[in-house]
Amino acid sequence: MNGKRHFLKSLAALALSASALNAWAADITGAGATFPFPIYAKWAEAYKAASGVGLNYQSIGSSGGIRQIRAKTVTFGATDAPLKGDELDKDGLIQFPAIIGGTVPVINLDGFKPGELRITGTVLADIYLGVIKNWNDPQLVALNPGKNLPNQAITVVHRADGSGTTFNFTDYLSTVSKTWAEKVGKNAAVKWPADTSVGGKGNEGVAANVNRVKGAIGYVEYAYVKKNNMNFLQMQNADGKYVSPDDLTFAAAAAGADWFAVPGMGISMVNAKGATAWPISTASFILMYKEPGDKAASQNALKFFDWAFKNGRKMAEELDYVPLPDALTQQIRQRVWSQIKH
Amino acid sequence: MTPSSPLYRRRRLTNWIGLGLSMTAMALGLAVLFWILYVLFANGFAALEWSMFTHDTPAPGSEGGGLRNAIVGSLMIVGLTVLVSTPIGILAGVYLCEYGDESRTAALTRFVTDLMLSAPSIVLGLFVYAIAVATVGRFSGYAGSLALSLIAIPVVMRTTENMLRLVPGSLREAAFALGAPRWKVASMVTLRAARSGVMTGLLLAIARISGETAPLLFTALNNQFFSTRMDSPMANLPVVIFQFAMSPYDNWVRLAWAGALLITLTVLGLNIVARVFFRDRSPR
Amino acid sequence: MSPAQDSATRSTAKEVLSIARQQRLQDFLFHRVTQFFSLLVLVALLGIMGSLVYNAWPTFEAMGGRFFWHVEWDIVNEDFGAAIAVIGTLLSASIALLLAVPLAFGVAVFLTETCPPWLRRPLGTAIELLAAVPSIIYGMFGLFVFAPLFADYVQMPLKSLMSGMPLVGSLFGGATNGMGILAAGIVLAFMVLPFIAAVMRDVFEITPAILRESAYGLGCTTWEVVREVVLPYTQKGVVGGIMLGLGRALGETMAVTFVIGNANRLPTSVFSPGTSIASVLANEFGEAQGLHFSALFALGLLLFIITFVVLAAAKTLILRAEKAKGL
């Protein structure tokens, strides 16, 4: 009995002393979208090296981010499905964009190079509606003359969790396909109509599922595509031209954006005009409280984003995200961050 | 009945078929199970490196990385759970054995304990979220420990009670005859006699909670950095494995296998130690 | 007695009395303290049920009893029904048991009847150790190793074989991606197999040797002993063990979430993706708000009740089997 008591006592002492070693602890917690997770994590790594403050970002999906900020369990929430102005006012939140990226359809088909095959918005909608079930469907063959599309069933991959990426993807499908708009609509979580529709958790889950299943098609943020060398499709934009995804085509889509047209800056950039614009470009937003409970953490979070806006451009471009232009970040500081009472 | 009569031959045939089918079933079943272990060991050992213990979990797309924060986090959460569950479980087990026959609630408690032993652990996670995360406003290692305690305490209770019951009554009676009060008999005689069995129960409880993922999903959440603060989200092995395994990054998947191997080795090791320990000194 | 001896006796008596009083107090405290901790477990269970009911209440208020059989899980329009998740849970658990029970039976029979004695202990220990392996391992195995193999060697041949047939053809349609309710059921079977095998073996060993030896003495073959003596004697225990396995399979999260496909719809073919209650909770809990949050608690409560009932039945059966042991 005595030996056990000594052991337990020393364990307790160890635990107490360990909790006193707060030097390495992260002060800022954020949660939400998986869309910007690669760039937020990169920024967090660099920020920690530069300032010693850690940012613990948990990518649980945009709906998760909205939920957790409303439950006040995190310092900021991240979402690609922006909240509307009246929702923001009701909860006492401010919203601002932090980064711009693009959602890309990816496939798993042997024998084709990344970006070799093409697709249009209406055909993509038909695949996700379950109308087109096979890769050698005449509509797909017509778009890709000369390519030998195999006789293989299409496995449609969607997001199993509530996702801003889904929100933007369905926003795009609703814009280009009336059937989709009527039948399914746009939201962070929808009723996926295709029979074979399989769910993955987070952008990571969708990418992993597409990689694993032959004949699969999914939609992921471009950083995931690039890092894993996935096979993506060229898309036809509003101007009728076929474009490949990269930070230039995303930036082209964001070029004409009027950010303050909508309260809360939650504008939509899908199917944007421009010869080189990528049709499913989106911004990812941050939600914070106007009157935060933990003022120190809130201030630290703003310091982090300030640092990221100034020093994070190169890291963003390496991952093919589009950093916000300086003029915009200045306006964000003056018009949005000023609303937070510290 | 002669060996060549049709009835005898039929019975022998049935015997051969029945046993043959059982052997096939057994071979199939064992083959699958050993295949799973082989896959785990092959992938896990291939991914095992010293850097795992010195680096923290990598950001998506970053190279290398390790599992240091997850290992430390798991150790802390499991450690706190053990600290909390041991006294509660043992004392409750003592109550069930020593006073259980006189009490009506004891039978009900035993029944309830058995139910909680097999309750779906994700539901326990929901409960702890409702009372320890949503109310306080943050995810924490404490909430994770609470959820794991709800799993560990019934295990410790049941094994303690069973081990105490195995202690021969003559030992107790001798102590009473010497004039010892009831509490001294219970703690210093019976419990001491059964202590190896109780330790077994503790080891089995630790093994059981080390591999649990679902209750930690919404309580301790996760943390990509090294942290020793139990009142905020803590990295832990099972949730990290869950996140990394379903991802498309190669280094994440490799780390997931390595982590899975670590957990399995810990669990198997604890079980083996419990058996060896128990077998040597069981009060038979 | 002299006055000195008198007072000495009295003081000793007083000492004895005070020691006795002290011990009574200590006994009383010990009793109450241990009782308190024991009652804590009861309170915890009541707390769990109470919390589940409290948080699930808004769903029952909004939807009433219809929640249980409504086939819909629409987060946007807040239209929830438990049927999809419950059917997925029951289907995957049933498939798991259908596969695991015969295999476990084979293992148990081998271990108790035909195994050479030198192999008996190590193999038995191996089975028990396998039952302790955490379930996330089975999930990873299912995702990385089993699903691709299942897609290529089972689903594709099955599909090309059966899809032409008139009635059953549609049952084998759909994409063959190695995931789905069938795949999840098979992975669950792997997980539950060592557990059921260990319980069956324990129960078979309880059979008194004298019964089996008498049967052998009469000239029964091994198979006949198992079928006519051991099984009837242990049938309650065996059924109890199977139901314990069922309880574990119903509540399993990790082994299932990896391969079930996470699709909130009813399965239309053998290869369809589906979902189980635990998978829905794991996927959607972090982001649920309002009625969705309450609906998830309602699902959790339902799962808790289902496992509760299965386990209570299992416990009673095993208890009765153990009581019959005294032959």
Look at the alpha carbons of B218, B224, B228, B232 in this order and tell me if their dihedral is positive or negative.
negative
Q: Is the Cβ pair A201, C283 closer than 8 Å?
A: yes
**Could you tell me which residues come within 8 angstroms of residue C245 by beta carbon, excluding any fewer than 6 positions away?**
C97, C100, C101, C104, C192, C195, C196, C199
Distance from CA of C286 to the nearest CA of B (A): 7
Mutate to test the interface with C, among B28, B91, B122 (most CBs of C within 10 A): B122
pLDDT at B198: 87
Q: In this structure, what DSSP letter does residue A258 have?
A: -
Residue of B nearest to A8 (CA): B83
Task: Please list, in sequence order, all residues whose beta carbon lies within 8 angstroms of the beta carbon of residue C150, skipping any fewer than 6 positions away.
Answer: C178, C183, C186
A107 — contact with chain C (CB < 8 Å)? no
Which of A8, A202, A319 shows the shortest C-beta gap to B83?
A8
| Nearest by CB: A199 against C174, C175, C263 | C263
The residue with tokens 């703003």 is: A302
**Among B221, B259, B227, B261, which Cα is nearest to B241's?**
B259
Alpha helices in B48-140 (DSSP H): 68-98, 104-117, 121-128
pLDDT for residue C327: 40
pLDDT at C324: 66
Q: Which amino acid, C320?
A: R
* Alpha-carbon span C212 to B232, nearest angstrom: 60
**CA angle (A29 as vertex; A27, A33 as ends), nearest 5:** 155
**Range B53-277: architecture per CATH:** Orthogonal Bundle (1.10)
Question: Would you state the structure tokens that stand for residue A10, as one six-digit string?
Answer: 């020393």
A199: left (phi over 0), alpha (psi -120 to 50) or beta: beta
- In the DSSP assignment, the letter for residue C70 is -
Would the pLDDT of C170 be above 70?
Answer: no
Query: How much is the pLDDT for C203?
Result: 83
In the complex, which subunits touch B with 3 or more CB pairs below 8 angstroms? A, C
C38 HSE (CA, 13 A, CB side): 28
Instruction: Give the C-alpha distances (Å, rounded to integers) separating B260 from B210, B221, C139, C160.
Output: 11, 18, 11, 37
Sequence-distant (≥ 6) Cβ neighbours of residue C249 within 8 angstroms: C92, C93, C96, C97, C188, C191, C192
CB contact under 8 A, C264 and A191: yes
- Give chain C's mean pLDDT: 85
Q: pLDDT tens digit string along C206-264? A: 888 888 889 889 988 888 888 888 888 888 788 888 888 888 889 889 888 888 888 88
* pLDDT for res B281: 47
Side-chain-facing half-sphere of C41: CA atoms under 13 Å: 35
Contact assignment for A195 to C284 by CB distance below 8 Å: no
What pLDDT sits at residue B79?
93
ipTM of the complex as predicted:
0.84
- Other C-beta atoms lying within 10 Å of the C-beta of residue A313: 16
Q: Could you tell me which chain C residue has the CA closest to the CA of A191?
A: C74
CB contact under 8 A, A42 and B61: yes
What's the whole-number mean pLDDT along residues B258-280?
84
Which among C26, C258, C307 has the least Cβ separation from residue B120? C307
CA distance C21 to B202: 35
C55 pLDDT higher than 80: yes
DSSP string, A48-98: HHHHS--EEEEE--HHHHHHHHHTT-SSEEEESSPPPHHHHHHHTEEEEEE
pLDDT exceeds cutoff 80 at B277:
no
Average pLDDT of span C107-118: 87
pLDDT, average across residues B101-121: 82
In the predicted structure, residue C9 carries a pLDDT above the cut 80 = no
Residues of C in contact with A67 (CB under 8 A): 286-289
pLDDT at residue B272 in the model: 86
C228: enclosing H helix or E strand: none
Please determine, for residue C166, whether its predicted confidence score (pLDDT) is greater than 80: no
Stretch (H or E) spanning A235: strand A234-236
CB contact under 8 A, B192 and A200: no
Whether the per-residue pLDDT at C3 is higher than 80: the answer is no
- Inspect the interface and report whether the beta carbons of C262 and A160 lie closer than 8 Å: yes
| Angle formed by the axes of helices C290-323 and C83-109, nearest 10° | 30
Interface contact B233, partner C, CB < 8 A: no
Q: Chain B contact for C316, CB < 8 A?
A: no
CA C16/CA C31 separation, integer angstroms:
22
- Using the predicted structure, report yes or no on whether residue B280 has a pLDDT greater than 70: no
Task: State the pLDDT at residue C186.
Answer: 92
Residues of chain A with pLDDT under 50: 1, 10, 13-25
A320 Cβ under 8 Å from any chain C Cβ: no
Question: Which residues in A lie closer than 8 A to residue C142 (C-beta atoms)?
Answer: none
Return the number of other C-beta atoms located less than 10 Å from residue A334's C-beta. 9
Supply the DSSP symbol for B56: P
C318 shares contact with chain B (CB less than 8 Å): no
Q: Residues A35, A104: contact at Cβ < 8 Å? A: no
Q: Where are the alpha helices (DSSP H) in chain A?
A: 2-20, 37-51, 62-70, 85-91, 121-129, 138-143, 164-176, 178-183, 202-212, 222-227, 247-254, 295-311, 313-318, 326-331
pLDDT score of C325 more than 80: no
Picking from C45, C141, C197, the nearest residue to B39 by CB comes out as: C141
For A283, the enclosing helix (H) or strand (E) is: strand A281-289
Of B217, B262, B219, which is closest to residue B239 (Cα–Cα)?
B217
- The ranges assigned to domains in chain B are 6-47, 53-277
CA separation, residue B58 to residues B132, B146, B208, B255 (Å): 29, 28, 28, 10
Rounded distance between C-alpha atoms, residue C3 and residue C8, angstroms: 8
Picking from C148, C208, C185, C146, the residue whose alpha carbon sits closest to that of residue C270 is C185
For C183-201, the pLDDT digits (tens) are 999 999 999 998 899 888 8
d(CA A236, CA A280): 10
Q: Which of C163, C142, C143, C157 is nearest to C269 (CA)?
A: C163
Cα B281 to Cα B203, B207, B277, distances in angstroms: 15, 21, 7
Q: Provide the pLDDT for residue C254.
A: 87
